[in-house]
Structure 1
């Protein structure tokens, strides 16, 4: 794993005098800064919201909620590194902090990237088992097993990246430190690039395609679902695979290209081929991988029927409290009437004017428009 991370650092603080080819650090500066800022603006509030909503599902022993809650927590940790990367890019790829901070930031970034990828596989596999083998899986799908799978997977990925903290560091030149920049490849690094492509991208992609196709086939053959429900499942399955390809395919394909080019050293001898043609796409592709953490809450969590019900109940509760507070303020000098059962239960019908929850529903806040399905 040491060599795996050397593809990004090798060493973390590079000696610029040892590199004859100058990387075009300024070419992708503006797109990356805009990309990181947009992902932060969308991803942070969305993941904080879904972290709470999915925890409610976990407390109700919802197995899928365990994976979705873990995914939201992973994405939040992932997003916390983006302000540092944004400042790093804005400074022309000059790392202003210590080497320990660089290692820790890179460790969190890449560890959570692959934890997120494997959690996406867990979500799709659990949905597949629940849909295709709904009866047979009743005794197997439980919250404890889901937590055990998540913990085991996180430990394996986290331990595999620990050697980054023991890496030797190069000396910075003229006070300019680099952090997680691609360096010259070696046979070991090339082997790890192949492994990252196969284990971290190709196998998860095949899992997502196979499970979502199985879900789609099973749902389309069902006679108990409406046409609209089948269409929604179809679009959701397509969106899951499409998002994965957009976010992770460019980065891992570039890793594969670099691994293949290592076997043809004459192509790069004295030409600076990587620096002139691949470096900027490489940095942009790495930035695209962060988009996944902003879209995951919308695609996986906020499109869930259970989550939308949680949002509707929460909104109805807010409307109830606001209505009762208004009544209390307008009748401070009057005897307060006793609250009846229909006030305590907004779903109970009562005679007379509509209650506060009903008012919210009539205003359209309780409809599917509140959280549109994918």
Structure 2
């Protein structure tokens, strides 16, 4: 039976670096004398549910996320018009999702094999890195989209020099640079190890380095989640104030821009509420409980289960981000229907009139 062993507060010191997760606890407890272990109260928790729950959840995300993000990238690649600023941000979002989704088969196999990692150390580091790259890259790109929409609503004329494709590419480049710099330590913390003759891949780090990982986790949460969230909240608060002004003050933005702004607020807030906020709350709670070595076994169990339940759910954003593309990217839904219709007509030439592509309409003026 799989179980988590949590040393009590009195065991702190030496090689014990906090309450330990499944494989980390097993490794650390092997280093302790049997009598010592019996003197220290241990909390045990079966984790058999992970084999079914995590394998099933990641499988569903993979099945949905791969075609959705692939379709978005295909549509963007086939688009003849120059990409708008929103499309640039959204395409980068899809790239981040697709890179992460392609790593899910490794996790599905691992959890199906009872946490056994058969893929080597390099892939262990890559899979862990891409998970957090997708997470914090998505948050920063959504922040860029929110700031872009805020400037268009609250400062439509003054912000024109800054709402350009060049600045959009600069924003995405800066985002990826920040994400890589933030996540370089994960390549050092994440690695493989042998526990009871079985290779495992640490999600956080080994017990000896947990104190350093906890400090890094706090900094990463503040810089990668708390600060961008505050920026988004400020932008949306100002946008709501602007959008709730009397109707005559909305002439400068127009009904279409207002509708896009409202959709942006609702969709991004919904995404954060469903995926990002619960994950960071449960993760912070879990790491803090481990770091403080609480003697309350019920609390330790709750923290562990909550973290493991919400961890795969944060990946649901990989399936929801394509929805942003179709709802926020102007005529993306129309382009998808046109592409599908063109393919259908291509297979059946006599099915009807040939459709004139967008941007190539022939105007017949009266003589």
Range of TM-score over shorter length: 0.7 to 0.9
Which residue is 2:85 aligned to? 63
In the TM superposition, residue 79 of structure 1 has moved relative to its aligned partner by 0.8
Q: Is 2:271–2:317's contact at 8 Å kept on the other side of the alignment?
A: yes
- Alpha carbons of 1:318 and 1:172: their partners in 2 closer, same or farther (altered >3 Å)? closer
Which residue is 2:278 aligned to? 250
- TM-score computed with the length of structure 1 as normaliser: 0.73
> What are structure 1's unaligned runs of at least 5 residues?
1-6, 328-341, 351-374
In the TM superposition, residue 320 of structure 1 has moved relative to its aligned partner by 4.4
> What are structure 2's unaligned runs of at least 5 residues?
1-16, 30-41
Provide the secondary structure at the position in 1 that maps to 2:199: coil
In the TM superposition, residue 72 of structure 1 has moved relative to its aligned partner by 0.6
Q: Deviations over 1:32-87 (max 9, x none)?
A: 22221221122111111112334466951411211111101111001111111111
Tell whether 2:122 aligns with 1:94. Answer: no
Q: Deviations over 1:104-163 (max 9, x none)?
A: 211122222211111111111112112222211221222222212212221232234334
Work out which of the residue numbers 356, 361, 365 in structure 2 matches 1:345: 356
Tell whether 2:199 aligns with 1:177. Answer: yes
Which residue is 1:190 aligned to? 214
- Alpha carbons of 1:292 and 1:88: their partners in 2 closer, same or farther (altered >3 Å)? same
Provide the secondary structure at the position in 2 that maps to 1:177: strand
Provide the secondary structure at the position in 2 that maps to 1:199: helix
Provide the secondary structure at the position in 1 that maps to 2:114: coil
Matched residues in 1 for 2:159 and 2:80: separation? Answer: 18
Q: Deviations over 1:212-231 (max 9, x none)?
A: 34334434445558989867
Q: Is 1:81–1:105's contact at 8 Å kept on the other side of the alignment?
A: yes
In the TM superposition, residue 28 of structure 1 has moved relative to its aligned partner by 3.4
Tell whether 2:309 aligns with 1:298. Answer: no
- TM-score computed with the length of structure 2 as normaliser: 0.75
Which residue is 1:366 aligned to? none
Tell whether 2:239 aligns with 1:239. Answer: no
In the TM superposition, residue 200 of structure 1 has moved relative to its aligned partner by 2.1
In the TM superposition, residue 90 of structure 1 has moved relative to its aligned partner by 1.6
Which residue is 2:152 aligned to? 130
Q: Is 1:14–1:178's contact at 8 Å kept on the other side of the alignment?
A: no
Matched residues in 1 for 2:326 and 2:317: separation? Answer: 13
Q: Point out the more displaced range, 123-132 or 16-25.
A: 16-25
Matched residues in 1 for 2:312 and 2:190: separation? Answer: 26
Q: Is 1:190–1:259's contact at 8 Å kept on the other side of the alignment?
A: yes
Provide the secondary structure at the position in 2 that maps to 1:198: helix
Q: CA RMSD in A?
A: 3.6
Q: Point out the more displaced range, 255-264 or 102-111.
A: 255-264
Which residue is 1:29 aligned to? 51
Matched residues in 2 for 1:235 and 1:143: separation? Answer: 22
In the TM superposition, residue 247 of structure 1 has moved relative to its aligned partner by 0.7
- Alpha carbons of 1:343 and 1:175: their partners in 2 closer, same or farther (altered >3 Å)? same
Q: Is 2:279–2:310's contact at 8 Å kept on the other side of the alignment?
A: yes
- Alpha carbons of 1:214 and 1:53: their partners in 2 closer, same or farther (altered >3 Å)? farther
Tell whether 2:244 aligns with 1:206. Answer: no
Matched residues in 2 for 1:86 and 1:159: separation? Answer: 28
- Alpha carbons of 1:17 and 1:167: their partners in 2 closer, same or farther (altered >3 Å)? closer
Matched residues in 2 for 1:157 and 1:58: separation? Answer: 30
Matched residues in 1 for 2:210 and 2:173: separation? Answer: 33
Matched residues in 2 for 1:41 and 1:304: separation? Answer: 24
Count of aligned pairs between the two proteins:
325
Larger relative contact order (CA 8 Å, sep ≥ 6): 1
Q: Is 1:103–1:164's contact at 8 Å kept on the other side of the alignment?
A: yes
Give 1 or 2: higher strand fraction: 2
